[in-house]
Structure 1
């Protein structure tokens, strides 16, 4: 049986070395290259045409999400497995939208990593247990449905941004939103900043009034 040809794209030499040692310890996998930046990953993917790429998200130059998108634009037959420390919803869904076949956290045990590589090489979609749990929580939680109702007023917002704007309209603090959505405070702050920019408003209060006008929240603006 032909071995699975793997390209490792990660900016940490020790992590790349550990992955190489793991993959070379099994007979059905072969490491054919290593990339330390997203740009190198794109270049090596084009020249080496691996079966599977193990892709980190945060790297110098273009990040792993953009590298994934560029690689699959020209080589859609390559299977990409994201291996990262990031487990927030935005990173997960961005990777899926870019075309990644799997998403695994770097703390995964060796057997889980090998199993994921084999599954992805056969075209399966694979997610580590922690990621699968987050996906179940996300899709199982009660949240506004984007693209219907008042959401038509904010087509520029992502589903997550629309969800957070709804909480802003309900006068929820960033801490409340973070707890409700199981996100870090920093992630919520970044989302709020993106919302203000996309809505072209100066502050949270203006965003709240824009949301009320669109029918989100409790329409407290009428109370004044």
Structure 2
């Protein structure tokens, strides 16, 4: 792969951002070009560096990941978004997907799953961790057609 996938990481916990950055930069396929601690900072960083993929938390101060994802999807639609959250409630998953996220992972995801999710959404294919996939299947099954 000649082109490194350019990434921005958004999470209000610096230690988590640092760990994720360290994990991703071990791979020669990725370059972390920016970091943010709030949704507002995420938008600003994305406007500056125009990444390929954003990995974002949902619950952040100032502006949450859902609002930031909706803004990015509308104003910078080429950026792919993966939600990385410790929350797996139905409403948050649906809100994040409706805001434009192409992937949803729980923060305890294995490192290989995070890498797989980045590759998948970069190719414009959705990626959901197993628990999220089960929830989405249940929600679709329960919906009225």
* Stretches of structure 2 lacking an aligned partner (at least 5 in a row): none
Partner of 2:86: 85
Larger radius of gyration: 1
Match of 2:48 in 1: 47
| Counterpart residue number, 2:124 | 123
Contact 1:46 1:71 survives alignment (8 Å): no
- How much does 1:59 deviate? 0.3
**In the aligned structure 1, how far is the partner of 2:94 from the partner of 2:54?**
18
Give the structure-2-normalised TM-score: 0.96
Query: Over aligned residue pairs, what C-alpha RMSD do you find?
Result: 1.1
1:7 touches 1:50 (CA, 8 Å); kept in 2?
yes
Structure number with the higher helix fraction is: 1
Shift of 1:140: 2.0
Take 1:34 and 1:26, find their aligned partners in 2: how far apart are those partners?
18
Question: Could you say which residue in structure 2 is the equivalent of 1:8?
Answer: 9
Matches within 5 A, 1:92-171: 92-141=93-142, 145=144
Deviation beyond 3 Å, 4+ runs, structure 1: none
Distance 2:139 2:69 in 1: 23
Q: Find the counterpart in structure 1 of residue 31 from structure 2.
A: 30
Q: Tell me the number of residue pairs that the alignment of Structure 1 and Structure 2 aligns.
A: 144
How far apart, in 2, do the equivalents of 1:20 and 1:96 lie?
Answer: 24
* Structure with the higher fraction of residues in strand conformation: 2
CA–CA separation in structure 2 for the residues paired with 1:140 and 1:98:
22
Scaled by the length of structure 1, the TM-score of the pair is: 0.63
Q: After superposition, give the CA deviation of every residue in 1:177-220 in whole Å (9 maximum; x if it has no partner).
A: xxxxxxxxxxxxxxxxxxxxxxxxxxxxxxxxxxxxxxxxxxxx
1:25 Cα deviation from its structure 2 partner: 0.6
The corresponding residue for 1:207 is: none
